[in-house]
Amino acid sequence: MKVSRASWIRVAGLAAVLGACVLACSAQSAEPAVRIRAPAQDEQVSAAHSETAVFAGGCFWGVQGVFEHVRGVQQAVAGYSGGAADTANYETVSGGDTGHAESVRVTFDPAQVSYGRLLQIYFSVAHNPTELDRQGPDEGTQYRSALFPLDAAQRAVAQAYIAELDRVHVYPVAIVTRIETFRGFYPAESYHQNFLVRHPYNPYIVYNDLPKIAALKSLFPGLYRDDPVLARVATR
């Protein structure tokens, strides 16, 4: 039986007790990784050493955890994007009607890792881009697969890559990832930040997210960093 992230929050006090058991019983992720090629089209090389991108792919615990282990990422912050500022809080967003998606703002050095390569990781190990308005055990528009390009270059790369992956039939069904207009990003509450790193024995993390870190290390050894870069941001 799949248990949602919201259910795990309600039983968080049991996480330490159940963690070891779930770790022993969970042999694979609910959302297995897919080996895909790097995008044929990427951003042009520039002299900049800092760029920002926003990704939504289900529960932000796992997406943030993956990007925190990517070499060249300077910070990954869990938060909300797609809706208004006054609804950007966990309880309201969980209702599914705010327009927000649980998202991760990634600040990275494009001289070390390009936006296209981050997209490759996003589509390969961070989430399943063929699930509509859900991800694994979590359901609702707040868990949708979506990209929020911050400029025309990012939008062009994302559009071309989705078309490329669909054309070569990497997945058995079409990609449902939406490319949405960026209207702002709002950091999530402090207890959501760096959740995977702080709670590695939480049963939800063990089953749904730790396999993503293992897949990142296996499929992208040159981009994997063992020590995660942790988010340090003013949160509520």
- H-assigned helices in 26-89: 60-68
Cβ partners under 8 Å of residue 100, min gap 6? 80, 81, 82, 83, 87, 88, 93, 142, 186
21 in active site: no
Q: From start to end of the chain, where are the E strands? A: 51-57, 73-81, 101-108, 134-135, 138-139, 145-147, 178-179, 185-187
Catalytic one of 36, 53, 59, 121:
59
Distance CA 27, CA 20 (A): 13
Please, which residues have CB within 8 angstroms of residue 13's CB and are 6 or more apart in sequence? none
Please name the helix (run of DSSP H) or strand (run of DSSP E) that holds residue 120, with its range, or none: helix 115-121
Q: Which residues are catalytic?
A: 59
